[in-house]
Amino acid sequence: MLGVVNALGALRTDVECRERMVPGGPQAEEVSREMEGGLTSARSVKVLAAIVWCVGGGVLLWKGSSLLTEAHALNPQSIWPWAAGAIGLTIGGVKARYIFSKACRKNLRRIDALERPRLWQCFRPRFFLFLAAMIAIGATLSRLAHGSYSFLIGVAILDLSIGTALLGSSFIYWQKKTCDNH
């Protein structure tokens, strides 16, 4: 939730920066031309990337929690749903620190290098293909897991670890946003 609030504030700041430009001045004319061509600021592209990252993390945490709830309903005496939650969060924390944070920094550098940024460039095209495949695989695994205690636990750990990694690394996107960013 905090990520979405930060994103809305960052977008508002981006708009305010554009509004402060002198009407008819060279900066205002350039912004006008960019908006006609579908261009945007690198800052807006970064904010969109952060929103996608946070929404994905939130959805996976919710989904993993739902699977653990179902597992608990199948076997209320077992501690495995609680242990699975702790395992998923721990693995996700490690992934956030050592893998996903690096991916966020790399994406930010790529966005900064864009000469004419467009919103759809928040990630590389192959990322969107990968994302579609991961959503399809995740939905299939969840559907197959229903009713199977051990499968529910396994898929929940997977979802919780990825969701935690996404949300845990998202702070990289929210660092030092200024109007000076493209």
pLDDT at residue 24 tops 80: no
Comparing 169 with 3, which gets the higher pLDDT?
Answer: 169
Whether 182 is in a domain gets the answer: no
Sequential DSSP letters for 31-73: HHHHHHTTB--HHHHHHHHHHHHHHHHHHHHHHHHHHHHHHHH
User: Which of 26-35, 98-107, 150-159 comes out lowest in average pLDDT?
Assistant: 26-35
pLDDT of residue 179: 34
Tokens describing residue 150: 């051990």
| CB 68 within 8 Å of CB 84 | yes
Whether 180 is in a domain gets the answer: no
Q: 145: pLDDT confidence band, cut at 50, 70 and 90?
A: very high
Whether 181 is in a domain gets the answer: no
Comparing 175 with 166, which gets the higher pLDDT?
Answer: 166
pLDDT of residue 175: 86
pTM metric for this prediction: 0.77
Whether 63 is in a domain gets the answer: yes
Tokens describing residue 17: 């920066």
pLDDT tens-digit readout, 59-98: 999 999 999 999 999 999 999 999 999 999 999 999 999 9
User: Which of 22-36, 56-70, 148-162 comes out lowest in average pLDDT?
Assistant: 22-36
pLDDT of residue 39: 79
Count structural domains, the chain: 1
Task: Give the residue carrying structure tokens 């994302």.
Answer: 131
Residues in Cβ contact with 31 at an 8 Å cutoff, skipping those fewer than 6 apart: 18, 21
Look up residue 36 and give its amino acid: E
Q: Which domain holds residue 43?
A: 2-174
Whether 127 is in a domain gets the answer: yes
| CB 62 within 8 Å of CB 137 | no
Mean pLDDT of the chain: 84
Sequential DSSP letters for 78-119: -SHHHHHHHHHHHHHHHHIIIIIHHHHHHHHHHHHH-SS-BG
The C-alpha atoms of residue 173 and residue 7 are separated, in whole angstroms, by: 10
Q: 36: pLDDT confidence band, cut at 50, 70 and 90?
A: low
Q: 4: pLDDT confidence band, cut at 50, 70 and 90?
A: very low
pLDDT at residue 156 tops 50: yes
CA max distance for the chain: 70
Whether 35 is in a domain gets the answer: yes
Whether 38 is in a domain gets the answer: yes
Residues in Cβ contact with 155 at an 8 Å cutoff, skipping those fewer than 6 apart: 64, 67, 141, 142, 145
pLDDT at residue 13 tops 90: no
Residues in Cβ contact with 15 at an 8 Å cutoff, skipping those fewer than 6 apart: none
